[in-house]
Amino acid sequence: QLETLEQEEQECLELTPHPTEKTTHIVNHEHGMTVTRTLQEGGAEPRCHSFSYGRARLRARLLEGASLLLLRVLARRQTMPPGLVFPAIDGEGDLCTFSF
């Protein structure tokens, strides 16, 4: 019964003269989950995009962090059921599936 309450992801590219920073903040709330993505390139104003998923669409989905934790547990147990697929949310906040 894994449940992600909040997840923060940050990527920085230090490329001269246009450094880029991207953050993704995912927070679980009563009605579902809200994903906020912010992108800042060089000295430009940050661009922010936020969207939400309702509980029905998120049922049994794993976020990227929870998926990594599950992989570690399976590796520790040295077991991997064949054809294991989970509905998931990727690092960009898009609905997808993870197969192991």
What are the pLDDT tens digits along the chain (100 aa)?
Answer: 667 788 888 889 888 888 999 888 889 888 888 989 899 998 889 999 898 888 777 766 666 667 777 778 888 888 777 887 777 777 666 777 777 6
- pTM comes to 0.63
- Cα 84 to Cα 4, 56, 65, 92, distances in angstroms: 20, 22, 17, 22
Taking the C-alpha atoms of residue 8 and residue 99, their distance in angstroms, rounded to an integer, is: 23
Total number of domains in the chain: 1
Range of the domain at 20: 5-99
